[in-house]
Structure 1
Amino acid sequence: MLRYTLKRLGIFVGCLVVVWGLVYVGVFPRGLGDSNGMWIILLSLLLSAPISFVVLRKERDRASVQVVQRVDRMKADLEANRSQEDSVDEAARTQA
């Protein structure tokens, strides 16, 4: 999961550098007034999202498998705790 996050952050930073360079050169407009920094960040986000979606498909699938395994493990642990509580409750009722 951390690997996916770091790769996605790397793609964003790469887009940020490219967009900043293109704005600096004059290929992209500079924005309105003092909004230049916000313009560069928003444009970088807009460009990095579809790139991440396509490039990191396998990494995203691996991360989702890990999440599903964790959820399944937690469900199994909860079910084990419930059955344990039920058996203790049954034993207490039979003794009374």
Structure 2
Amino acid sequence: MLRYTLMRFGIFAGCFLVVWGFASTGIVPRGVGGSYFLWIALLALAISAPISYVVLRKARDRASAQIVARVDRAKAGFEANAAQEDVADDAARAQSAS
């Protein structure tokens, strides 16, 4: 998951530098007033999102599989705990009924 996040941040940083270069040369508008870096960041985000979606598909699938496995292990643990509680509750009820 960390690897995917770092790759996604790398794509964003690359897009940020490219957009910054284009804005510095005047190819892309510079923004109004003090919004220069905000404009560049938003434009870089809009460009990097579809690039990340296409380029990082396999990494995203691997990260998703890791998350699903982690959630499944947590669910199994919760179910095991619930089963232990049910056994203890049934034993307590049987003892109090006797």
Task: Give the TM-score category using the shorter length.
Answer: over 0.9
How far residue 36 of structure 1 moved from its aligned partner, in angstroms, is: 1.2
SS in 1 for 2:27: coil
Asked whether 1:25 is paired with 2:30, we answer no
Q: Distance in 2 between matches of 1:75 and 1:42?
A: 38
Structure 2 equivalent of residue 59 of structure 1: 59
Deviations 1:25-75 (A, max 9, x none): 111111112211111111100110000000000000001101111111111
Asked whether 1:15 is paired with 2:15, we answer yes
Q: Distance in 2 between matches of 1:66 and 1:14?
A: 27
SS in 1 for 2:22: helix
How far residue 94 of structure 1 moved from its aligned partner, in angstroms, is: 2.1
Aligned residues: 96
Asked whether 1:38 is paired with 2:18, we answer no
Percent identity over paired residues: 64
How far residue 95 of structure 1 moved from its aligned partner, in angstroms, is: 2.2
Which runs of no fewer than 5 residues in structure 1 stay unpaired?
Answer: none
TM superposition score normalised by structure 2? 0.93
Which runs of no fewer than 5 residues in structure 2 stay unpaired?
Answer: none
Asked whether 1:89 is paired with 2:78, we answer no
TM superposition score normalised by structure 1? 0.95
Question: RMSD between aligned alpha carbons?
Answer: 0.9
How far residue 16 of structure 1 moved from its aligned partner, in angstroms, is: 0.5
